[in-house]
């Protein structure tokens, strides 16, 4: 009898521990659901090109939804003259009247001036790119980083920022404007294969006139199609012989 009572007591204690474990687990899961943010973190990678401006307009019209945390992500090349997948940037330099080479101090000042001008240009251009977000009253922030390798830095920032998705243009990032139809640029192709988050590549229209039309979403008018009158057929009667 004592053995039976002891077994019942152990079983009751085990049941209580199981119930407490289930209760604690349910509480933890409820807390995780409460703390988890339902909003998406969406970055739009921009390189100050027309393709990037189109990608921003496309995202506003077709992808972004209320509650999204939007980031304009720009990787600024470490060199003003040359950067990864940027090509050369035209900078006019006025030599002195005698055509002599400027001293080292003047060259450093000139380089600093170029850096400052490029920073100002980047800031102004970024504000222009963000105008569709402003017009649509979508909250956003501009995130600018410096690196010599744009594609690797974009993937690094995607992981560091915990992005849900990244949107970018297909022709502005390292793609040739001639003979590159239908192909991704080197940067967008790299991001598609290496980013930890999904990458949405927006194709830039071949003609500038179609860019605004496509970015604003579909404009075709929908017409109601009349439904056909339903036709009913009587089921064949089956006679059973008794």
Q: For 147-156, what is each residue's pLDDT tens digit?
A: 989 999 999 9
Identify whether the C-beta of residue 147 lies closer than 8 Å to the C-beta of residue 74: no
Q: Is the pLDDT of residue 223 over 50?
A: no
Cα–Cα distance, 165 to 55 (Å, whole number): 14
Average pLDDT, the chain: 71
Predicted local confidence at residue 127, as pLDDT? 82
Cα–Cα distance, 10 to 233 (Å, whole number): 69
Identify whether the C-beta of residue 188 lies closer than 8 Å to the C-beta of residue 224: no
Span 36-94+118-215: which CATH code?
3.40.50.620
Q: What is the pTM of this model?
A: 0.58
Query: How crowded is residue 162: how many other Cβ atoms within 10 Å of its Cβ?
Result: 11
Cα–Cα distance, 138 to 61 (Å, whole number): 11
Predicted local confidence at residue 109, as pLDDT? 78
Residues in the chain, overall count: 242
């Amino acid at each position: 009898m004592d053995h039976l009572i002891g077994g019942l007591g152990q079983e009751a204690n085990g049941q209580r521990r199981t119930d407490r474990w289930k209760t604690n687990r349910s509480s933890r899961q409820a807390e995780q659901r409460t703390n988890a943010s339902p909003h998406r973190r969406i970055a739009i990678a921009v390189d100050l090109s027309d393709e990037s401006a189109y990608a921003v307009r496309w995202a506003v019209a077709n992808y972004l939804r209320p509650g999204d945390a939007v980031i304009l992500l720009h990787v600024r090349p470490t060199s003003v003259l040359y950067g990864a997948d940027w090509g050369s940037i035209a900078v006019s330099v006025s030599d002195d009247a005698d055509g002599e080479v400027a001293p080292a101090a003047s060259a450093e000042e000139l380089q600093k001036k170029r850096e400052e001008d490029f920073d100002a240009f980047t800031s102004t251009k970024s504000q222009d790119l963000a105008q569709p977000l402003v017009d649509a009253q979508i909250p956003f922030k501009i995130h600018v980083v410096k690196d010599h390798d744009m594609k690797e830095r974009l993937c690094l920032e995607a992981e560091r920022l915990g992005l849900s998705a990244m949107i970018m243009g297909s022709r502005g990032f390292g793609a040739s404007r001639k003979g590159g139809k239908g192909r991704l640029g080197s940067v967008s192709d790299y991001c598609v294969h290496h980013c930890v988050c999904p990458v949405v590549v927006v194709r830039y229209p071949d003609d500038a006139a179609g860019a605004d039309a496509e970015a604003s979403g579909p404009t075709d008018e929908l017409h109601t199609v009349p439904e056909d009158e339903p036709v009913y057929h009587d089921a064949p009667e089956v006679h059973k012989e008794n």
